[in-house]
Structure 1
């Protein structure tokens, strides 16, 4: 008798459960070629299901070739349906998964670059999204252009001119699936085996990986309290491009002053290379107005990257590239080869969201909230650690740097802190190219943490470091 356990409490339909279990037994050799399966009525009776459940499961197995029917004889396992099983991956049981979810809920995660997910403007976004679906022509549901919707590119070019001092025509804009795709497009556009990129050190580890993936090398320029030390750029170097985060250096958080910006542009002109500017969260500046873009100083020399992941939500997967006219066609071709185009409905939704003023209102609202969280984080660090901690890079963005006296952080130390105290902190050293310079510094993101979580997290950190 064929015994198949079924579970009526599961979301998986009974037909699928019967089909999957017979299929698995055939593939694993538990049911061999030529074995006779029980009649549908008999199996249905044994399982306590309707006969239709078993009939449909058998029909599916028959259509895929696992079983065969023999006229007047019955249903049999077909030849050639056994697959030798390789070493199996261990999957979490339901209990383990449930425990993992509980543990995750207990962890306080100081991840940087993550906005307040609970503050996403759901109602406004939902209303606009519904309007877009209802009001637009049928053509919106077809294929689009790789550079993105013209509506969004027009609105975005005006918005960036007003808020970031960016100078561009809509035709210079390419809408991307987040900043990561923008960075990948740049790597494909510029780099090949043996090419060199001049880059800040430290800088995001992920960016290092993207830029070295074509076989290129990184030439690091150290960062101090004013960003990239442009006086250390060798005058005879000929990089493919220079990568900077001038408005809010990641991870150290500093701003590149005008003197260094000019030095950077002068070098790029002499070396006949481009500058790639990543402007990832500079809208949230807590002292004065946001810093104007580097791109505005030399639009023909600077490639500008922006994203809505930090302003609104990473789930949107919306970013953009602004390119000098000489690079736009080649970049559009690369974008087409990558994914044809970024989803059109989301593009039209964000276009209306910006055009109706919702984005700037959201930024003003969130700036107050993030400033309160930043101030509370600084207060907690000072209360718990006193003069043993120095706070850096806190004027802009969603994270700050805590530099500790007489404490060095290693991967193992961070792992122990997570396991014993349920707190995630992040090493500056992870993002360095030349190692050993920032081992006493950690990155503390506060965008997605409440006041209470920030306080409890810093208390746990103190317990971990005592």
Structure 2
């Protein structure tokens, strides 16, 4: 029987889930032209859903030409609907990227990179947004410049120099709709088919997808307790750029020391390539002061990416690129073709928020809150697992890594954990060279309360005990 995954915890309608997965199987060639689909009654029974759901999904596929219906014979995959082999590994479907928890769900989600959404400074932001709306010139409601509002670029350049050691002129800044757009612009700016990117391994799966979608090849460099292992920088390729997260490696949490930073810069000079620095959450450092940027050491060669999604809210969709002067005009043109410009009202509100010191006040406040949540995670892990776990990369950011003894987080194990109403994320999901981090998971805690953290780790313990019991029964 044909298998697809039905997830009732998602907001996506069941019909959409069935339709989307069948559509992707057809495009990928997993379902061949002329192949008969299961009857709607049989398929619905197999999936444990209403027959009407399957019928509606089949009807949508029929309307779009993916399948054909033959009177009295059933539903068949239409010929000519197979798109490309590369879809098998290179293209994410709607379901692969949709990971928004259902409202009021009782699942405790340890997803990383989500700030405390209930702590967003609504009053201050609302007051400033109202001021901007009432006081700004009429031109703010029209089309704007692709690089962003000059007010935000000026105040942001001063803020970054003071807090992150970044050196740039406001003209080198391009305001983006979040870090994802910034990464996409870098990919379009510097990559084409056949190019090479040296990249940390592990690193966010989404970033791998953005870069490889250009046709470029990823050259992974392993990460240890000091970040990217620069000793193994290749001598036989000329990369377009080197990508890394030096101030808080994602996901393992290590910090690149000055010796490796210098080695990296020297290599980039010799290879005549750029370094792309993703500085996604280094504001929240709990031991000592925030780590200085790599960009401050070599402004002419480092492209710096930042975002306000982790500091304030992902909903704002505000990020930025700092580019060497030689790349700024090309990047502005790409930004214009991409979306004309990032929303102006939000930019102006953020500019005032930074200028009046509200951003730094908010960061100081949230650093204390996240530090307490980090300690709750550590204490809960110690209580439930004792010496059977090792905690890594917890000095900065909104997540930590837990390394388990004698446990591998296979797909089956993750499903058992999810069935216990808790979601965790294996490090292996973000690896390029598989097999080195099977016993590690990422626990994000930014958007979880004390009670949710404690209950979630208790559920995780119960799930892993159940997984071990189930494994013994299979032996």
The TM-score normalised by the length of structure 1 is 0.78
Distance (Å, rounded) in 2 between the aligned partners of 1:108 and 1:432: 24
CA distance in 1, matches of 2:150, 2:435: 47
1:325 alignment counterpart: 325
Alpha-carbon distance, 1:85 to partner: 7.1
State the Cα deviation string for residues 173-220 of structure 1 (Å, max 9, x = none).
000000000000000001111111000000000000000001111000
Alignment deviations for residues 392-441 of structure 1 (CA, whole Å, 9 cap, x no partner)? 0000000000000000001221122112x100000100000000000000
Which of structures 1 and 2 has the bigger CA Rg?
1
Distance of aligned partners of 1:155 and 1:405 in 2 relative to their CA distance in 1, 3 Å threshold: same
Match of 1:202 in 2: 202
Aligned to 1:422: 421
- Tell me what 2:409 maps to: 409
- Residue in structure 1 matched with residue 463 of structure 2 by the alignment: 464
Mapped to 1, the partners of 2:415 and 2:210 lie a distance apart of 26
CA RMSD of aligned residues (A): 1.3
8 Å CA contact 2:413–2:464 kept in 1: the answer is no
Rounded to whole Å, the distance in 1 between the matches of 2:464 and 2:60 is: 48
Aligned partner of 1:184 in structure 2 is: 184
* Aligned-partner SS, 1:327: helix
- Mapped to 2, the partners of 1:88 and 1:116 lie a distance apart of 43
Alignment of 1:21-420 (within 5 A): 87=62, 101=102, 105-419=105-419
Say how many residue pairs are matched.
371
**Partner of 2:112: helix, strand, or coil?**
coil
Distance 1:356 1:414, change over 3 A: same
- The answer to whether 1:453 aligns with 2:452 is yes
For residues 201 and 122 of structure 1, the distance between their equivalents in structure 2, rounded to whole angstroms, comes to: 38
Aligned-residue offset at 1:86: 5.2
CA contact (8 A) 2:428 2:437 kept: yes
Indicate if the aligned counterparts of 1:235 and 1:267 stay in contact, CA closer than 8 A.
Answer: no
Q: Distance in 1 between matches of 2:391 and 2:411?
A: 21
Distance in 1 between residues matched to 2:119 and 2:144, nearest whole Å: 31
- 1:35 maps to what in 2? none
Quote the Cα distance in structure 1 between the aligned partners of 2:207 and 2:129. Answer: 32
- Structure 1 stretch displaced more, 453-462 or 410-419: 410-419
Q: Deviations over 1:18-69 (max 9, x none)?
A: xxxxxxxxxxxxxxxxxxxxxxxxxxxxxxxxxxxxxxxxxxxxxxxxxxxx
Which ranges in structure 1 are unaligned for 5 or more consecutive residues? Answer: 1-83, 90-99
The C-alpha deviation readout for 1:262-284, integer Å capped at 9, x for no partner, is 00000000000000000000000
| SS of residue in 1 equivalent to 2:304 | strand
**Contact 1:179 1:320 (8 Å CA) reproduced:** yes
Conservation of the 8 A alpha-carbon contact between 2:202 and 2:222 = yes
